[in-house]
Amino acid sequence: MKTVEIHRTGYLAGGVVAIAVRVLPAAHRDRYSDEFRADLSVLMIGRQLPYAFGALVSAVPLRRAIKETDSDEAGRSVVYWKCRWGRHRWVVVNDDNPEQRKGIHKECTRCLKLKDINEHDPTPATWLGAG
Amino acid sequence: MTQTTQAVLRLLLEDPAARRYGLEIGAVTGLPSGTIHPILARLESLGWVESDWEDVDPSAAARPRRRYYRISEEGMAAARLALARAHQTRTKLVSRPWAVGDTS
């Protein structure tokens, strides 16, 4: 496609694209703002507004696609509600470095939270503080 | 895989060395402008597509830089396989429309 002629971006189309970009995560706004405005600049005035509304409509799916990517990069894409409620799925794990822990500890298979095993002193720390 | 994603992948596979920008991909595939960027974002997150900025001075060009997309080495093999599978599934469904959901 040969689209080398540069056109002035219409105010309305520019405004709609600006709104579309605001829907996206902050870290990605500059990139997509530049992309959308670069596309607008090669479109005739009459075709800019349909393009801008297309960008606005696609902002939510685009945001979802970006969020999926970001959460995958963060390594945690799932919210473990049972763990948030304190209902972990503990398994006993042997430590490779026994100096840091007591040889074994518990690890939640869902959220990967660690917990020390203290078999001889099951008393809660808050109860001890009362005395 | 959706038909729109397949169309984008087919275009990028036509000439793997070619760098194309979003508007161009939309124009060539005939897809609405709004559908292209979410597809490209997903393909990029999978590592099937690479993107980089146009090497141009925006003030000299009197427009913002374009973001160019190209299929990656990893994406080429994966996309060809995915397209072949999608084609196979479509052929199967066309020849045996009652077999929707049949996993055997």
Complex ipTM value = 0.80
Is 70 exceeded by the pLDDT of residue A32? yes
Best to test chain B binding among A5, A30, A62 (most B CBs inside 10 Å): A62
| Residue B71 backbone phi and psi in degrees, to 5 | -75, 140
Instruction: Provide the strand spans (E) within chain B.
Output: 20-21, 49-53, 67-71
- Residue B104 in any domain: the answer is no
| Structural domain containing residue B36 | 3-97
> Over 80: is that where the pLDDT of B32 sits?
yes
- Whether residue B90 has pLDDT greater than 80: no
What does the domain layout of chain A look like in residue ranges?
11-74, 91-120
Give the total number of structural domains in chain B.
1
CATH number at residue B11: 1.10.10.10
What are B53-80's pLDDT values in tens digits? 988 888 888 888 899 999 999 899 999 9
Tokens at A7, concatenated: 């056109």
Task: Summarize pLDDT for A53-101 with one digit per residue, the tens.
Answer: 999 999 999 998 888 766 655 444 456 777 878 888 887 777 655 555 5
- Report if residue B72 sits inside a domain: yes
Which chain B residues touch A69 with a CB distance below 8 Å?
A: 41-42, 44-45
Distance from CA of B13 to the nearest CA of A (A): 17
Distance from CA of B58 to the nearest CA of A (A): 9
* B103 found inside a domain: no
Cβ proximity of B21 and A38 under 8 Å:
yes
Query: Which chain A residues are Cβ-neighbours of B32 within 8 angstroms?
Result: 54
For residue B36, tell me if it sits in a domain. yes
The pLDDT value recorded for residue A75 is: 47
